[in-house]
Amino acid sequence: MTTFSAAQRSRVTMLDVAERAGVSKASVSRFIGDDRTLLSDAIALRIEQAIDELGYRPNQMARGLKRGRTRLIGMLVADIRNPYSIAVMHGVETACRKHGYSLVVCNTDRDDEQERQHLAALRSYNIEGLIVNTLGHHLDQLLELQREIPLVLVDRKVEPLHSDLVGLDNPVAVRIAVEHLEQQGYRDLLLVSEAADGTSSRVERLDSFKAQINQRTSLRGAVLEIDAHLNSHLQSFLMNPKNGPKALFCANGIAALACTRALQELGCTLFTDIGLIALDDLDWYPLVGSGITALAQPTEAIGASAFDCLLKRLRGDDSPARTLDFLPQLIVRGSTRSCFKTPQLSVGAGLARDGGVSVTKEID
């Protein structure tokens, strides 16, 4: 087989192939496309040999635009540095590849202008469907795209968009976390979160935490949003002698990292002076102190399900928009050691009544 450089291949046209094979340009087009069965074996062989000799590579994007099928799926994410976004994206990409689609990922970096530009670019690529994990501040563009192609939301609701939504069951996740901390003997809880900023999943977690605290007379709870004064806020929380053993509930991995750093800078003994549970389970959690207890999200399944919803819409499913809420897995490590001197009810037994909740106990 003849070897050609990329530059040489880019200069070879379909007409060049047709002339080398002694056939019409239409026959080459049929060979490259989905109509190869219309050609005789002899003509197909001549075209195949000409393509090999010339090193011809068809422009798949141009062909897709012409046929209206690019096999491209777009994904818009708010922050590609967030481990959650990366994990969900991997689930989407794996599912895309399995079904013969390619994924185009655009990171808005939480910037509205970047989001606007990326939406325009994705539309110009003639994507066949879109998966959205942003605040959706450019509703006009999103609504316009939704009229043209299927659109699925991940983790965050965008109220005017009546689209399928795939994410975590936040009220259940918060209830599991608070129940676990209460069972372990913690009485003064502080939920630490990034600024809500209209993000539906963050708002749900804040509201659910407040509701859980209000239902439990033995607990005191407060909410803290991460800012430049995180260290001093945590120090004040630690220094307050009232209300019994203290624990932090970090609403995501970013909050967990910020709190862990702050506690170390404050000279806090992890996790003797304070307990900690985090939503999301990241690779570094087992490496800090005796390990950080986590509520693991099934991120791969969330990503795969988002694409599955999109694929069903691409195949003509016009049923009402649906919400798929996944349950977390509680992974118990040393950061939520029991504050009691006598043995307590095991974590697994305490949660079994709820049904469907998976519990792993790494450290007693």
What per-residue confidence (pLDDT) applies to 349?
31
| Model pLDDT for residues 92-129, shown as the tens digit of each residue | 999 999 998 999 999 999 888 999 899 989 988 889 99
User: Is a pLDDT exceeding 90 seen at residue 323?
Assistant: yes
> Could you give the CA distance from residue 119 to residue 140 in angstroms, rounded to a whole number?
11
What per-residue confidence (pLDDT) applies to 44?
87
Distance (Å) of CA 305 to CA 30, 62, 77, 132, 185 = 35, 30, 16, 13, 37
Domains of the chain: 6-58 (1.10.260.40), 70-167+302-325 (3.40.50.2300), 170-297+326-361 (3.40.50.2300)
What per-residue confidence (pLDDT) applies to 359?
52
What per-residue confidence (pLDDT) applies to 8?
45
Single pTM value for the model: 0.78
3-state secondary structure of 175: helix
Does residue 354 or residue 204 have the better pLDDT? 204
> Could you give the CA distance from residue 169 to residue 342 in angstroms, rounded to a whole number?
33
For the residues of 70-127, what is the DSSP string, one character each? --EEEEEES-TTSHHHHHHHHHHHHHHHHTT-EEEEEE-TT-HHHHHHHHHHHHHTT-
